[in-house]
C-alpha cells in the first residue's frame, strides 16, 4: 500500500495563497478557518527586499501526536498514511489541538458565512453539511479526491507547480525522485512525529 506524503519546493513557491484558497473552495471551510495556511516574512531592505513564504497544513505524520491522545478514536491514520478526523466520533475535547505541534487543527465553534449580512451562499449551504459544529477539523489531503485518483486541490491549484504529492515508498515515483535529488527539511522533527511534508530548499 502507498504511503502518501508531500514535497513543497520553497524555491518555486511565490506566496500567492492559491493553495489556501483552493483548499477553502474545495472543502467549504467556515469563515476564519484555514486548513492550509501560508506564513510570509519580509526580509532585507529596499531595494534588496524579498518575501519568503512557508505553506503550512497537516503534516500527515507517520507518528502523529494527535492520534494517541484522542479518547474517542476520532483521529486515526489510514493504511496509506493519511491522517483523518472523524467528525461523527469527535467529542470536541481539543486534546488533539493541543497535541499537534504544527497548529494544523481547528475547533469549529460555529459555521460562519462569509456574507453575514446577506446569508449563506449556495456553496456555503451545501458545504455546511460536511462540517459539524463543536468538533475539530483539519486538512484531509483532500482524501475524497485522492481516493478518486486525483491530486489534492492545493496541488492542482498551485500556479508554480511547487507542490508534489505521491507515494514516498515508490522509488520510481515523482516525489521519491524529487526528494532523492534535492535537499529537504521537515518541521519540528525533534517532536518525534515523523512529518511527511518535506520542504525543498
The residues near 67 (Cβ < 8 Å, ≥ 6 apart) are 75, 76, 77, 83
Question: What are the cell numbers at 138?
Answer: 483539519
pLDDT for 116 equals 87
The answer on pLDDT for 119 being more than 90 is: no
Q: In terms of pTM, does the model score above 0.85?
A: yes
- C-alpha to C-alpha distances, 190 to 74, 142, 186, 194, nearest whole angstrom: 25, 27, 10, 9
Task: Please tell us whether the domain made up of 4-200 is placed in CATH 3.30.70.20.
Answer: yes
Q: According to DSSP H, which parts of 28-65 are helical?
A: none
Strands (E), 57-124: 75-77, 83-85, 105-108
Q: How many CB atoms lie within 10 A of CB 71?
A: 9
State the average pLDDT over residues 170-190: 96
79 vs 9, 63, 158, 159, CA distance in Å? 26, 13, 27, 31
> Per-residue pLDDT tens for 3-32?
999 999 999 999 999 999 999 999 999 999
**Spatial contact of 166 and 26, defined as CB atoms under 8 Å apart:** no
pLDDT tens digits for range 67-98 = 999 999 999 999 999 999 999 999 999 999 99
pLDDT at 201 over 90: no
Helix and strand tally (H, E) in the chain?
Answer: 7, 10
- Tell me what the pLDDT averaged over the chain comes to: 95
Residue 26 grid cell: 474545495
Amino acid at each position: 500500500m502507498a504511503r502518501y506524503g508531500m514535497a513543497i519546493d520553497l524555491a518555486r513557491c511565490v506566496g500567492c495563497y492559491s493553495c489556501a484558497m483552493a483548499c477553502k473552495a474545495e472543502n467549504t471551510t467556515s469563515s476564519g478557518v484555514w486548513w492550509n495556511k501560508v506564513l510570509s516574512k519580509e526580509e532585507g531592505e529596499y531595494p534588496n527586499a524579498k518575501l519568503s513564504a512557508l505553506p503550512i497544513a497537516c503534516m500527515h505524520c507517520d507518528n502523529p501526536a494527535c492520534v494517541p491522545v484522542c479518547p474517542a478514536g476520532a483521529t486515526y491514520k489510514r493504511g496509506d498514511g493519511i491522517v483523518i478526523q472523524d467528525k461523527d466520533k469527535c467529542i470536541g475535547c481539543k486534546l488533539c489541538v493541543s497535541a499537534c505541534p504544527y497548529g494544523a487543527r481547528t475547533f469549529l465553534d460555529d459555521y460562519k458565512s462569509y456574507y453575514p449580512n446577506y446569508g449563506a451562499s449556495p456553496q456555503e449551504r451545501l458545504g455546511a453539511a460536511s462540517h459539524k459544529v463543536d468538533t475539530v477539523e483539519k486538512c484531509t489531503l483532500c482524501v475524497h479526491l485522492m481516493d478518486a485518483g486525483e491530486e489534492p486541490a492545493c496541488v492542482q491549484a498551485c500556479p508554480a507547480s511547487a507542490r508534489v504529492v505521491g507515494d514516498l515508498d515508490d522509488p520510481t515515483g515523482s516525489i521519491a525522485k524529487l526528494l532523492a535529488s534535492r535537499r529537504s527539511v521537515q518541521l519540528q522533527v525533534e517532536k518525534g512525529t515523523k512529518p511527511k511534508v518535506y520542504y525543498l530548499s
